[in-house]
Amino acid sequence: MTQLVHLSPVDYSILVLYVVFVIGIGFALKRQMKTSADFFLSGRNIPAWVTGLAFLSANLGALELVGMAASGAKYGIATCHFYWVGAIPAMIFLAVFMMPFYYGSKARSVPEYLKLRFDERTRAFNSVSFAVMTIFASGISLNALAKLLHSLLGWDYNISLWVCSVIVLLYVLKGGLTSAIYTEVLQFFMIVLGFAPVVYLGLKDAGGWNAVKEKLSAVAVQPAVHNLADSASKTFSPDAWTSAWKPLLAGPSANPMGIDLFAMVFGLGFVLSFGYWCTNFLVVQRAMAAKDMKAARNTPLVAAVPKMLFPLLVILPGMIALALSATQGKGYTFPKAVITEARMTASVNSIRQSASAHADVAAATKALSSSAGTSFNTAKVQALLQAAQGTPDAQLAVGIQDAVVNDYDGVILSLVKRYCPTGLLGLALTALLASFMSGMAGNVTAFNTVWTYDLYQAYIAPDKSDEHYAWMGRAITVAGILLSIGAAYFASMWTNAMDIIQLVFAFVNAPLFATFLLGMFWSRTTGTGAFVGLISGTAASALFHSCTISQGNLPGVKGGYLHVFQVLPSDMAQNFWLASFAFIVCFLVTVVVSLATSRTKSDEELKGLVYSLTPKQQVDQAWYARPGFIGIVLLIACAILNWIFW
């Protein structure tokens, strides 16, 4: 159990103010929710700067904040690739090439675009998988929030879960998508302004960027000392944590992520990134709510500017934490599980037994983990095995506690606790709460639209009045929140739940971009080709996963359950290669089946849905305001950032 944080009346006041304002926004918008289009589509009436920040905020769940800081500590500046390679180019592609078809086709959702372009089969497959994924994503986020409030503030898990859900329910129910988008903008500013002082104080404490770089160079040559490698002899080049590209170019064994260049650029930078930013309705919905085509295309471009700079806010804290932990006298250690007295006695016995039985390090680590109830760094367990004979119990216990793996997910909170006095603490915690809520509201609004338009109206009750669909939207919002709560309990009860859910996400998402790419840019793609390609791509993801595993994992939920044909250097490498494989299979099968089947839609029907069949619109914008030009400027800015941190 971590030490509880005690909030003062000022901290509570900030939290309450935030809650009052987000619920107030919902109630203020209530009068304007007259039709189903108002509720689900915001009446397509929102300016680009609002939809742009909401586009970013919907993706900025707390799991991203927590996870990116953790990755900053584990992998260093290479984590920026999730932004500079894995987001910006895809956002620009969405704005320049894809948004005209999403917005121009008047589709109300991404699955509906699939129906217009292909047929009902592809739409149904995408709608069902997307609806299930949004509920689980929302539930995972909710579970993480309730667990965090419980461990940090001592609040009851159940009460935290229900109260946060009710707050999101209130403002989404009253103000629909507009309310979610408006509160996402407010949450965006809350997140930036809430965490910025923590980063500033952290950097000041660490002695500035040059001091951080210096410390991380020392960490890189002896990573096992900091529980960052499984072998005591493992060493990286001094710039492994502070250079974005050089360690990557040197191969998987030379960078802490264990990634090769192809997996990073093609797997993350193309397949996963374009698959997420260009086809995920959760984010695309924000752009589709814009007031006109110009605003819709500018939405991802507006979002790209802060997105490019976000590593400063979310990755840098992890790097600062690692530098602090490597600096003597700073009194900072990474959060990690504390072994209870009873378990420590069993752990000491476990190490002694393994040492006297000359057990190998893998077996000893497994036995020790079972005794202690937590995970250990194998390099340090190896050292403990060698030193066990002749070492007193008390000293061995200190060594065992030191060998517990770091809880990197706790990095951001450990910095909040370290730097935030009363007042600032309330602001930072409110920012964290805001990030959870923006993620949950985003998922719920995407879910209610897809359910009502793509499943309920399409297959269950096609010819009802607009009032009926507006009513259904509200009813399914309540149901969506209740299902999210159910998913949160599911995630909390089963430790493997997160891994399995994320695995299913990967299976479904990986091939999707191939379907959209061919659908939008190759008029010969047929409905049957798209459907068979998508199913084949999803099956290929599952097959790839069942035949590969990453180093250090045993066959099971982490892969290799049919047969291990290939061992990949890291979980991340496995994910990126899986995505690449699924994309290629989906692409090739779609092409082959399309060529073997007849088109069911005429050129006229595909006008506005396919690039080559859509007449070029006269643009009434100055050259410097056109999405293409802005996109190039953003790409140059992104390239400069990559060059600076090369």
Partner 1 sequence: MGLDIRYPIGMMFTLIGLLLAGTGLLHGGSVSIAGIDIGVNINLVWGAVLFLFGALMWGSALRSKGQ
Under rule CB under 8 A, residue 585 binds partner 1: no
Q: 613: burial class by Cβ within 10 Å (0-12, 13-18, 19+)?
A: middle
Give which of 96, 138, 171, 128 is closest to 454, Cα–Cα. 128
Q: Which helix (H) or strand (E) holds 568?
A: strand 566-568
Cα separation, 327 vs 329, whole angstroms: 6
User: According to CB under 8 A, which residues from 170 to 199 bind partner 1?
Assistant: 178, 182, 185-186, 189, 193, 197
User: According to CB under 8 A, which residues from 238 to 297 bind partner 1?
Assistant: none
Binder to partner 1 among 2, 45, 237, 551 (CB under 8 A)?
45
Shortest Å, Cβ 38 to partner 1: 9
Under rule CB under 8 A, residue 32 binds partner 1: yes
106: region left, alpha or beta (phi > 0 left; psi from -120 to 50 alpha): left
Q: Which is nearer to partner 1, 25 or 107 (CB)?
A: 25
Under rule CB under 8 A, residue 334 binds partner 1: no
Q: Which is nearer to partner 1, 385 or 415 (CB)?
A: 415
Q: 502: burial class by Cβ within 10 Å (0-12, 13-18, 19+)?
A: middle
Q: Degrees (nearest 5) of the Cα angle 112, 114, 115?
A: 65
Please say whether the beta carbons of 577 and 260 come within 8 A: no
Under rule CB under 8 A, residue 201 binds partner 1: yes
Q: Which is nearer to partner 1, 50 or 568 (CB)?
A: 50
Shortest Å, Cβ 71 to partner 1: 24
Binder to partner 1 among 2, 5, 7, 28 (CB under 8 A)?
28
Contacting range for partner 1; rule: CB under 8 A; set: 44-52, 444-452, 481-489, 594-602: 44-52
Q: Which is nearer to partner 1, 327 or 443 (CB)?
A: 327
User: According to CB under 8 A, which residues from 436 to 495 bind partner 1?
Assistant: none
Give which of 33, 109, 36 is closest to 466, Cα–Cα. 36
Binder to partner 1 among 154, 251, 423, 486 (CB under 8 A)?
423
Cα separation, 434 vs 557, whole angstroms: 32
User: According to CB under 8 A, which residues from 400 to 419 bind partner 1?
Assistant: 418-419
Under rule CB under 8 A, residue 218 binds partner 1: no
Q: Which is nearer to partner 1, 52 or 569 (CB)?
A: 52
DSSP of 174-231: HHHHHHHHHHHHHHHHHHHHHHHHHHHHHHHHHTSHHHHHHHHHHHHHSGGGGT--SS
Under rule CB under 8 A, residue 207 binds partner 1: no
Shortest Å, Cβ 34 to partner 1: 12
Shortest Å, Cβ 63 to partner 1: 24
How many beta carbons lie within 10 A of that of residue 346, not counting itself? 16
Under rule CB under 8 A, residue 331 binds partner 1: yes
Shortest Å, Cβ 9 to partner 1: 10
Q: Which two tokens stand for residue 42?
A: 């915001």
Contacts of 484 (CB under 8 A, 6+ apart): 135, 138, 139, 142, 165, 440, 443, 444
Under rule CB under 8 A, residue 422 binds partner 1: yes
Under rule CB under 8 A, residue 13 binds partner 1: yes
Under rule CB under 8 A, residue 205 binds partner 1: yes
Residues in the chain: 646
Q: How far is CA 628 from CA 51, 195, 383, 518, 547, in A?
A: 19, 33, 57, 21, 42
# of chain residues touching partner 1 (CB under 8 A): 37
Q: How far is CA 509 from the centre of its chain?
A: 13
Under rule CB under 8 A, residue 35 binds partner 1: no
Largest CA distance in the chain: 84
Please say whether the beta carbons of 587 and 594 come within 8 A: no
Q: Which is nearer to partner 1, 29 or 124 (CB)?
A: 29
Shortest Å, Cβ 318 to partner 1: 18
Q: Which is nearer to partner 1, 32 or 353 (CB)?
A: 32
Under rule CB under 8 A, residue 48 binds partner 1: no
Under rule CB under 8 A, residue 46 binds partner 1: yes
Under rule CB under 8 A, residue 21 binds partner 1: yes
Q: Which is nearer to partner 1, 470 or 634 (CB)?
A: 470
Under rule CB under 8 A, residue 18 binds partner 1: yes
Please say whether the beta carbons of 126 and 466 come within 8 A: no
Shortest Å, Cβ 294 to partner 1: 18
Q: Which is nearer to partner 1, 209 or 489 (CB)?
A: 209
Shortest Å, Cβ 317 to partner 1: 14
Q: Which is nearer to partner 1, 24 or 552 (CB)?
A: 24
Under rule CB under 8 A, residue 424 binds partner 1: yes
Q: How far is CA 15 from the centre of its chain?
A: 25
Handedness of CA 25, 30, 31, 33 (dihedral sign): positive
Under rule CB under 8 A, residue 125 binds partner 1: no
Under rule CB under 8 A, residue 232 binds partner 1: no
Under rule CB under 8 A, residue 10 binds partner 1: yes
DSSP of 81-101: HHHHTTTHHHHHHIIIIIHHH
How many beta carbons lie within 10 A of that of residue 431, not counting itself? 24
Secondary structure letter of residue 253 according to DSSP: G
Q: Which is nearer to partner 1, 114 or 427 (CB)?
A: 427
Binding site for partner 1 (CB under 8 A): 10, 13-14, 17-18, 21, 24-25, 28-29, 31-32, 42-43, 45-46, 50, 178, 182, 185-186, 189, 193, 197, 201, 204-205, 330-332, 418-419, 421-424, 427
